[in-house]
Amino acid sequence: MHLPDGLVPVGMAAAGYAGSGALLALSMNRIARLPDPQAAMPRAAMMTAVFFAASAIVVPVPPTTVHLMLSGVMGVLLGWFAVPAILVGLFLQAVLFGHGGLTTIGLNGLIIAVPALVAFMVYRTAAGRFPRLAAGVAGSGGVLMSLAIFAAFVLLGLPAQMDASAERAALMVFVLAHMPLVVAEGIIVIVLLQILSRVEPGLLPRG
Amino acid sequence: MALILAFAFASVTQITSLPLLAALALAALVASGQPMAVLTRLRAPAMLALAIALALALFSGSDTLWQAGPLHLRSDGVAAGALVALRLLAIVTLTLVLLGSLPPHKLAEALRGLGLPAILSDLVMLTLRYIDEMRARLARADAARRLRGGGAGWRALPERAAVFATALIHGQHRADRVWAAMRLRHYGATRPATPPFGLHDLLWIGAALALAAALVWLDRAT
């Protein structure tokens, strides 16, 4: 779910850079407060590589398939490191594969990183009492929130002469086509966090 | 430089500027020395550009050019579609030519040169270093799951989550070892100084700025 280059007005793309830049500055500030921020970097890089590879997992939505987004689980496992990790992932996708866009990295960063941070906070707050519910909300809620931000950006950015009813209908089809992904990511994140809490609890955030 | 030109390309709003945009993208493609490799990587963006152009041609604008049942091809929609599709393809071509062929350390060096924090450029370099390894590991684990009789589609989601969890745990252990090795090499004690922009770099940046300004001026003047 990426905004490609050339679709939105250049001012909006520049505003996306400003927004993502602010979010990145906030994250770097929080990361700098960690006891040993450099020690967390290799782990963040490794997780970014795993998420990058795992986002190739497809969920069948006949007649097509959709890719996992993993914004919620990235937030849960990486915390504040999720913002640089997501921006790095988007940059590499644009540079290596031409997916997403170079001018829209800022907007795409907001589409994925804001839900990741919200999922991180929700999970950290609620996982102690309701671990499964918190995992499900982080997984499914992350995708839902990304969809909402993506739809808002598309509505703001598409050419003004576009037929408004057709635009809304196309967006509705797009959102409905992603509903199976909302369910799938919920299932995957619940199972994933359950396994990690049993086998490697050190990977999970402490409440 | 790529970012300056990409934003200049993205700011084109007149259909009359499209031939110039296409010519610049084509020149970059030829200058890359490996046009076929770049064209292969352009396949998916080209499909996306075509889909967007078709959607805009059919659902935006008012002057009907051609009609078949409920489908109306509109002239201003065709113009808007061509503008978005060509901007997209030109920017992606430029990105792949200027940045896609750089080795990881050059990419990280360039990011440091832009003034990004070292932790961010190191994150890029380490991620690039491990992407292929993690992809191969996930693919092997998924193949093993299928050979053990694992399902497909929706029923396989919990099993695939387990494969994903295993990869994350492996990644965590690997990260611990990488960090230990980095500390042994005195990581962070001294950081390689980013070379300041040389005359050559400044000339290229100046040329990119001039080209971007000319493109925007021509676009606004027409």
Q: Write out the DSSP string of B77-115.
A: HHHHHHHHHHHHHHHHHHHHHHTTTS-HHHHHHHHHHTT
Mean pLDDT score, A18-41: 88
Q: Could you give the CA distance from residue B88 to residue B65 in angstroms, rounded to a whole number? A: 24
Using DSSP's 3-state secondary structure scheme, residue B211 falls into: helix
Q: Could you give the CA distance from residue A20 to residue B6 in angstroms, rounded to a whole number? A: 18
For A37, A70, B90, the CA distances from A101, given in Å and listed in that order, are: 29, 19, 11
Tokens of B59: 């659902």
Chain A nearest-CA distance from B208, in A, is 16
- For A163-177, B9-23, B68-82, which range has the lowest pLDDT when averaged over its residues? A163-177
What pLDDT shows up at residue A165?
Answer: 73
Q: Which amino acid is residue A70, in one-letter code? A: L
> Which A-chain residues 90-149 have CB contacts (< 8 A) with chain B?
91-92, 94-99, 101-103
CA-atom Rg of chain B in angstroms: 24
Taking an 8 Å cut-off on Cβ atoms, the answer to whether B60 and A44 are in contact is no
pTM: 0.87
Among B96, B101, B88, which residue's Cα sits nearest to residue B45? B88
Is the per-residue pLDDT at A159 higher than 60? yes
Q: What angle do CA B145, A205, A115 make, to 5 degrees?
A: 80
pLDDT digits (tens, 9 = 90+) for A55-106: 777 776 666 677 888 889 889 999 999 999 999 888 888 888 778 888 999 9
Is the per-residue pLDDT at A207 higher than 60? no
How many CB atoms are closer than 10 A to CB A37?
Answer: 17
- Beta pairing partners, A65: A60
Nearest CA in chain B to A90: B124
End-to-end CA distance of chain B: 25
Confidence grade of residue B100 (pLDDT, cut at 50, 70, 90): confident
More confident residue, A83 or A164: A83
Taking an 8 Å cut-off on Cβ atoms, the answer to whether B135 and A53 are in contact is yes
Give contacts of A55 with chain B, Cβ < 8 Å: none
More confident residue, A203 or A159: A203
Q: Could you give the CA distance from residue B23 to residue A98 in angstroms, rounded to a whole number? A: 19
What pLDDT shows up at residue B196?
Answer: 64
pLDDT digits (tens, 9 = 90+) for A99-147: 888 899 999 999 999 999 999 999 999 888 898 999 999 999 999 999 9
pLDDT digits (tens, 9 = 90+) for B74-94: 788 888 888 889 999 999 999
The H or E element spanning position A68 is none
Q: Which residues, in sequence order, are CB contacts of A57 under 8 Å at separation 6+?
A: A67, A68, B160, B164
- For A36-50, A161-175, B85-99, which range has the lowest pLDDT when averaged over its residues? A161-175
H helices present in chain A, as ranges = 10-32, 37-54, 71-78, 82-92, 105-126, 131-157, 164-177, 179-199
Does any CB of chain A come closer than 8 Å to the CB of residue B60? yes
Q: Phi/psi of residue B95, each to 5°? A: -60, -50
Q: Which of A5, A182, A189 to mutate to test the interface with B (most CBs of B within 10 A)?
A: A5
Taking an 8 Å cut-off on Cβ atoms, the answer to whether B56 and A50 are in contact is no
Please give the mean pLDDT across all residues of chain B: 84
End-to-end CA distance of chain A: 30
- Beta pairing partners, B64: B74
What pLDDT shows up at residue B90?
Answer: 92
Give contacts of B138 with chain A, Cβ < 8 Å: 50, 53-54, 56
pLDDT digits (tens, 9 = 90+) for B140-164: 888 888 898 877 778 888 888 898 8
Is the per-residue pLDDT at B195 higher than 80? no
Tokens of B34: 């490996």
> Which domains are assigned to chain A?
10-197 (1.10.1760.20)
Report the percent of chain B where pLDDT is more than 70: 95
Chain CA centroid to CA A27, Å: 15
Tokens of A75: 């937030």
More confident residue, A133 or B190: A133
What pLDDT shows up at residue B129?
Answer: 82
Taking an 8 Å cut-off on Cβ atoms, the answer to whether A92 and B128 are in contact is yes
Confidence grade of residue A160 (pLDDT, cut at 50, 70, 90): low
b/e burial code for range B109-131 (CB count within 10 A of at least 16 → b): bbbbeeebbbbbbbbbbbbbebb
Does any CB of chain A come closer than 8 Å to the CB of residue B160? yes
Is the per-residue pLDDT at B29 higher than 80? yes
Is the per-residue pLDDT at B105 higher than 80? no
Q: What angle do CA B44, B50, B52 make, to 5 degrees?
A: 105
What pLDDT shows up at residue B3?
Answer: 84
Chain A nearest-CA distance from B205, in A, is 17
Tokens of B137: 């590991």
What pLDDT shows up at residue A23?
Answer: 95
Confidence grade of residue B188 (pLDDT, cut at 50, 70, 90): low
Cβ–Cβ under 8 Å, residues A120 and A73: no
3-state SS of chain A: helix, strand, coil percent to 5?
75, 5, 20
For A80, B57, B183, B214, the CA distances from A161, given in Å and listed in that order, are: 40, 11, 58, 28
What pLDDT shows up at residue A117?
Answer: 95
Is the per-residue pLDDT at B14 higher than 80? yes
